């Protein structure tokens, strides 16, 4: 037998062996969620790395501007098998809401017999992982926690199951107990795709003792806020007047709040960007001016680091999401807890409050939608929602909860949350909003670091937004 | 048709099967493996090129349409892309200017035996073993202007304590320095191996002729090390151009876009903005930008 024939026979045997192995592997059941079949760019990097952190993420041990962990998703060990082997898979995102859900999940299992398998992601990789899984029809998750800036992309993309029938048909959940603006938080084109997990309007966080020392009242307008910050800063070299971390995209969130306060908006009714308006310039200049009264790390701080600094150093004022209430008033985490109080966000030429907070919904590819809703209904229904707050989660926007006298006395943030819920505004729900937010954050970063002037930076922002909106077909 | 050698019946003279490598049975025995690698490697590349010509968006499934070069026009042929290329070049070249001289200097020092030389070598190699994410987190703490040890030390010495990651120039320099801190060990190792394999005769001949240490290094050692230097430069250039996780953790591309390199732009567009088609176009552009480096590397390693 010549060398070629023996080589061919050996090669054929190797082929058959490989095919047999591949066939065996394909026959094994997979448990891990698979990525969407959508190919990713060749230079895809690992989804590591948090950058800015949404409000109400757990404070890190050190006051850093980035969350401590960039580990891949952590999956808690599956709950003990419930009777009948029923289980659901719940995704949570780092923060107090996630910790509270994890703490309460065993109670749900005990009450319903449905085991809860929890997967936890860090903020910056959570939404892309969830969206890729859902669009790939992996049926990996039955309940997901998501942030409002991404809601439009998820809902428009068909990644969330409609919940109207569930919310309106549930006496335990009681849809009428949810304020209209909070209902709209998870709605797109009049349909409900997610419900409010936490209601976190922007609020003023202030140090009673430092305001008293500086002889300033709690500011109710942005001019008063800036003046108060300046006076507090003048008290001593190590006392600061203001601290709101402006790491991307936090700078965008803060700027949009002040933009709305001055009567401005991101675009007009025809989607023409309006970010070069006087209101936009005033908002950007205000953000820049306030940095003069802030610690140096403010420029690169996210929400956790801002909360850590505010709670443990001498800073008079900050604009924070209400979700940081539990962190700032916990004496074990905040040295200044006893002196911290909260007030509604200041007004400009008009009164507007940016309403943020987590949403929770059922993925459209879930095969256990009823059970997924059952979990949400149990968690956020009138009977158990106070337990969620007791477990450390920011309060959902439920009227009966926020107006409960005993709870309002215990959680002094509730009036501010209710006020925010009544005149709160949310980010646009178009699918391209994450891209637009990124463009806003980048250009604001250039303005705040003096790489460009306010005018030039806002014009560049307008050009970026025009490109995105044109590519998406909103603009001709 | 001429007679054919035994065992070659059916083999056309001059055809694919008649090539020496192909006729080797080992070529076909390894076929499952190289075919799998080809498929795993080629399919994503072909898919990415295809995606770059579409409007694929994760939040708009089922609405994908062919846009031809539209993504390239909107994402690549603009000032932001040029800026990202410039930042990538600055990070790569800046890193080289630091890593090559320092790595070579360390290798020259460690080429000689001295007390604790193994300990020093291990210490210098340790950063290389850390993940870029851990390095980025560690350095973002060190460089924090309020709690970072670097600024606290500078303040204690009465020196200015800048906000390293908030100033555009300093942030870029920080990325270069941190990346170099992590990779100098690799560069040193390559040069150490090169130095160890240099022939001793030319060096001894130069010494006998009365050349000083610097003269020996400059006129004898360095020219012999040139091939290693070129390979190291190319490897580090390619690595630096692809840098992603360190930049994402340390600066997030900020302040503004001061440290936003090409790979980070690809990530942000595709995975934060969900614009897969546009991200694919940027990825193809990145590959085209890096292609000359790879061609150069192949020529150098073949020579």
ipTM: 0.81
Is some CB atom of chain A closer than 8 A to the CB atom of B239? no
Task: Output the tens digit of pLDDT for each of chain A's 476 residues.
Answer: 444 455 566 556 655 665 555 555 444 433 333 333 233 233 333 333 333 333 333 333 333 333 333 334 554 444 444 445 699 999 999 888 999 999 999 999 999 999 999 999 988 889 999 999 999 899 999 999 999 999 999 999 999 999 999 999 999 999 999 988 889 889 999 999 999 999 999 999 999 999 999 999 999 999 999 999 999 999 999 999 999 988 888 999 999 999 999 999 999 999 999 999 999 999 999 999 999 999 999 988 888 889 999 999 999 999 999 988 988 999 998 999 999 999 989 999 998 899 889 999 999 999 999 999 999 999 999 999 999 999 989 999 999 999 999 888 888 888 888 887 777 888 998 999 999 999 999 999 999 999 999 999 999 999 999 999 998 899 98
Q: How many CB atoms lie within 10 A of CB B296?
A: 15
Rounded-to-integer distance, Cα B249 and Cα B243, Å:
11
What's this model's pTM, rounded to 2 decimal places?
0.81
pLDDT single digits (tens) A259-268: 999 999 999 9
Rounded-to-integer distance, Cα A371 and Cα A374, Å:
5
- Measured between its terminal Cα atoms, the distance across chain B in Å is 40
Burial of B118 (0-12, 13-18, 19+ CB in 10 A): exposed
Question: Contacts of residue A363 in chain B, CB cutoff 8 Å?
Answer: none
Give the alpha-carbon dihedral of A34, B54, A153, A163, to 10 degrees: -70
Whether the Cβ atoms of residue B274 and residue A431 lie closer than 8 Å to each other? yes
What is the model's pLDDT at position B117? 84
Is some CB atom of chain A closer than 8 A to the CB atom of B202? no
Place of tokens 């306060």: A261
What is the model's pLDDT at position A21? 54
What is the model's pLDDT at position B19? 67
Distance, in angstroms, between A4 CA and closest chain B CA?
6
Q: How many CB atoms lie within 10 A of CB B224?
A: 15
A:64-123 residues touching chain B, CB 8 A cutoff = 64-66, 68, 70
Cite the DSSP H helix spans in A291-392: 303-312, 325-328, 369-380, 385-390
- B79-110 vs B168-196: helix axis angle to the nearest 10? 40
The partner residue sitting opposite B257, judged by closest CB among A2, A39, A446, is A446
Distance, in angstroms, between B69 CA and closest chain A CA?
13
SS3 B259: coil
SS3 A339: helix
Q: Which regions in chain B score pLDDT beneath 70?
A: 1-23, 303
What is the model's pLDDT at position A15? 59
Phi, psi at B248, each rounded to 5°: -65, -45
SS3 A341: strand
Rounded-to-integer distance, Cα B255 and Cα A154, Å:
29
Whether the Cβ atoms of residue A372 and residue A145 lie closer than 8 Å to each other? no
Is some CB atom of chain B closer than 8 A to the CB atom of A3? yes
B:51-80 residues touching chain A, CB 8 A cutoff = 51, 55-62, 70, 74
Distance, in angstroms, between B61 CA and closest chain A CA?
6
Distances from the Cα of A466 to the Cα of A18, A45, A439, A462, B86, angstroms: 52, 28, 11, 6, 24
The partner residue sitting opposite B48, judged by closest CB among A2, A41, A156, is A41
Residue contact B272–A300, C-beta within 8 A: no
A:239-278 residues touching chain B, CB 8 A cutoff = 247-248
């Amino acid at each position: 037998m010549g060398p070629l024939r023996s080589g061919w026979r050996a090669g054929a045997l190797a082929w058959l062996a490989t095919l047999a192995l591949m066939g065996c592997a394909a026959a094994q059941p997979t448990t891990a969620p698979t990525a969407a079949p959508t190919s990713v760019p060749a230079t895809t990097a690992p989804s590591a790395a948090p950058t800015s952190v949404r409000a109400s993420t757990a404070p890190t041990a050190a006051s850093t501007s980035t969350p401590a962990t960039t580990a891949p998703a952590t999956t808690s060990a599956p709950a003990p098998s419930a009777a009948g082997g029923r289980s659901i898979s719940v995704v949570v995102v780092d923060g107090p809401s996630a910790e509270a859900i994890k703490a309460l999940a065993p109670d749900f299992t005990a009450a319903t017999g449905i085991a809860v398998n929890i997967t936890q992601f860090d903020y910056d990789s959570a939404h892309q992982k969830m969206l890729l899984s859902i669009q790939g029809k992996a049926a990996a998750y039955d309940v997901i926690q998501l942030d409002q800036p991404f809601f439009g992309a998820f809902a428009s993309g068909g990644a969330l199951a409609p919940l109207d029938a569930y919310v309106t048909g549930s006496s335990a959940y009681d849809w009428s107990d949810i304020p209209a603006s909070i209902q709209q938080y998870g709605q797109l084109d009049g349909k409900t795709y997610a419900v409010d997990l936490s209601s976190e309007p922007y609020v003023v966080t202030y140090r009673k003792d430092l305001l008293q020392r500086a002889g300033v009242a709690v500011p109710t307008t942005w001019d008063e806020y800036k003046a108060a910050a300046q006076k507090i800063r003048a008290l001593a070299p190590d006392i600061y007047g203001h601290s709101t971390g402006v790491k991307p995209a936090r700078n965008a969130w803060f700027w949009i709040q002040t933009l709305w306060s001055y009567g401005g908006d991101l675009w007009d009714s025809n989607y023409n960007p309006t970010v070069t308006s006087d209101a936009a310039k005033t908002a950007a200049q205000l953000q820049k001016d306030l940095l003069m009264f802030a610690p140096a790390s403010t420029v690169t701080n996210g929400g956790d680091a801002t909360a850590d600094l505010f709670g443990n150093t001498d800073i008079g004022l900050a604009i924070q999401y209400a979700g940081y209430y539990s962190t700032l008033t916990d004496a074990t985490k905040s040295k200044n807890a006893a002196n911290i109080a909260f007030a509604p966000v200041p007004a400009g030429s008009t009164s507007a409050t940016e309403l943020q907070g987590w949403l929770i919904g059922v993925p459209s590819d879930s095969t256990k939608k009823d059970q997924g809703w059952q979990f949400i209904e149990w968690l956020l229904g009138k009977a158990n929602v106070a337990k969620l707050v007791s477990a450390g989660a920011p309060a959902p926007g439920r009227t009966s909860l926020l107006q409960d006298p005993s709870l309002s006395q215990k959680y002094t943030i509730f009036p501010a949350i209710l006020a925010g819920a009544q005149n709160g505004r949310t980010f646009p729900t178009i699918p391209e909003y994450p891209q637009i937010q990124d463009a806003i954050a980048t250009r604001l970063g250039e303005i705040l670091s003096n790489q460009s002037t306010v005018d030039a930076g806002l014009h560049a922002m307008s050009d970026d937004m025009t490109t995105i909106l044109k590519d998406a077909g909103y603009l001709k | 048709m001429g007679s054919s050698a035994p065992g070659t019946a059916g083999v056309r003279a001059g055809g694919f099967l008649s090539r020496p490598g192909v006729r080797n049975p080992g070529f076909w025995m390894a076929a499952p493996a190289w075919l799998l690698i080809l498929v795993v490697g080629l399919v994503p590349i072909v898919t990415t090129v295809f995606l770059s010509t579409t409007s694929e968006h994760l939040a708009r499934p089922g609405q994908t349409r062919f846009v031809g070069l539209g993504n390239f026009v909107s994402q690549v042929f603009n000032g932001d892309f040029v800026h990202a290329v410039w930042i990538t070049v600055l990070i790569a070249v800046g890193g080289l200017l630091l890593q090559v001289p320092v790595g070579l200097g360390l290798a020259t020092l460690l080429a000689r035996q001295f007390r604790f030389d193994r300990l020093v070598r291990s210490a210098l190699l340790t950063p290389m073993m850390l993940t870029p994410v851990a390095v980025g987190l560690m350095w973002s703490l060190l460089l924090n202007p309020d709690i970072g040890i670097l600024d606290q030390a500078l303040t204690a010495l009465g020196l200015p304590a800048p906000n390293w990651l908030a100033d555009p120039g300093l942030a870029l320099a920080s990325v270069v320095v941190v990346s170099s801190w992590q990779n100098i060990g690799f560069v040193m190792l390559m040069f150490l191996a090169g130095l160890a394999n240099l022939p001793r005769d030319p060096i001894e001949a130069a010494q006998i002729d009365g050349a000083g240490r610097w003269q020996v290094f400059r006129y004898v050692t360095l020219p012999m090390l040139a091939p290693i230097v070129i390979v190291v430069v190319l490897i580090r250039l390619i690595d630096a151009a692809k840098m992603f996780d360190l930049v994402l953790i340390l600066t997030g591309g900020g302040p503004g876009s001061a440290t936003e390199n090409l790979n980070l732009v690809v990530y942000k567009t595709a995975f934060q903005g969900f614009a897969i088609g546009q991200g694919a176009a940027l990825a193809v552009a990145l590959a085209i930008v890096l292609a000359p480096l790879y061609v150069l590397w192949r020529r150098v390693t073949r020579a």
